[in-house]
Amino acid sequence: MLEDSGRTELEELGEFGLIKHLTKDIKLVNKSSVKGVGDDGAILDYKNKQTVVSTDLLIESIHFDLTYVPLKHLGYKAVVVNLSDICAMNAVPKQITVSIAISNRFSLEAVEEIYGGIHLACEKYDVDLVGGDTTSSNSGLIISITAIGEVEKKDIAYRDKANRNDLICVSGDLGGAYMGLQLLEREKAVFTENPKMQPDLDGNDYILERQLKPEARTDIVELLKKLKVKPTSMIDISDGLASELLHICQSSKVGCSIYEEKIPMDSTTINAAIGMNFNPVTCVLNGGEDYELLFTADLSDHDKLKGNPDITIIGHITDESEGCNMVAKGDTVIELTAQGWDAFFKNQRDI
């Protein structure tokens, strides 16, 4: 995984030398970033806008497996999953801080790979890296990123404002990231059994990218503003469609009805699921890590959203007494249950 040739030990630089090395080329691009790396704290100026802050931890062997996750992809994904939380508030990400704990099995070159992915994400999403921390670790690699964004007060989308008869919408397509994970885990198991076997990944680029290099849907935030649609509630799909929809319904004290035939899935996802004996819809409901946006909108916005290639209307909000349900093919009604990611449940990768 990590080559020894040309390896630079981190102890050769020390903590402050490492920080200086990793941050020497940072350039700020946002007006709200008054002061970034180099002092005791960053200075941000949002004037009359609201500030949105979100933090996520990524821990080796819990959230990622370096057997098959490239370090550059890991750095990129670590940023994206945090930017996605900012988007879920209908806000625009502007800054991040990065804290990383590293064991001595990682070289300077390995850390540079991680930060290469971090900088690539910052460049793509016009986000400034304005601070963070580095330290040593005795238990593998840990990455903690805090994302900061801005939004007009009138535009903020919370989870608890969904209303009866609202449309339920999702961006993009779902289930691909989970099937990408299943494929990688399958090939890891084959390799563990027989290291001479080459991984069989042909034809699955789409689901692999959905797992290893997801994207934050900043474009959907911009699109909704352009369409003049203000979500009544919104959340990003990190833990599976069912779990996220239940979060909205429980917070808003409403029920919901979604339709299996309306759920958007890519053909690669469907074929991979069937090929591995999974029900594709189950993968969507319980898989997670798609980082698409799930939102509700007033019924009056139907014509603005209908037929948009980036958004699918999959159901509607009902009275709380009606519960949270999916209408399957054949008009069978199935109660939605939260079986997605839970940080304190075992065997999460086998959902």
Band of residue 35 on the pLDDT scale cut at 50, 70, 90: low
Average pLDDT over residues 252-262: 97
Mean pLDDT of the chain: 88
pLDDT per position as a tens digit, 11-27: 666 655 655 665 566 57
Residue 210 near residue 176, CB atoms below 8 Å: yes
> In this predicted model, what pLDDT tens digit does every residue of 272-305 receive, in sequence order?
999 999 999 999 999 999 999 999 999 999 999 9
| pLDDT at residue 351, as a whole number | 34
Return the pLDDT at 26: 58
Q: Which CATH number is 167-350's, of 1.10.3720.10, 1.10.10.10, 3.90.650.10, 3.40.1350.10?
A: 3.90.650.10
**Euclidean distance between CA atoms 298 and 198, whole angstroms:** 51
Domain with CATH 3.30.1330.10 in the chain: 10-155
> Does residue 133 register a pLDDT over 50?
yes
pTM over 0.85, yes/no? yes
Ranges for all domains in the chain classified under CATH 3.90.650.10:
167-350
CATH architecture for residues 10-155: 2-Layer Sandwich (3.30)
194-231 tens-digit pLDDT = 887 888 888 999 999 999 999 999 999 999 999 999 99
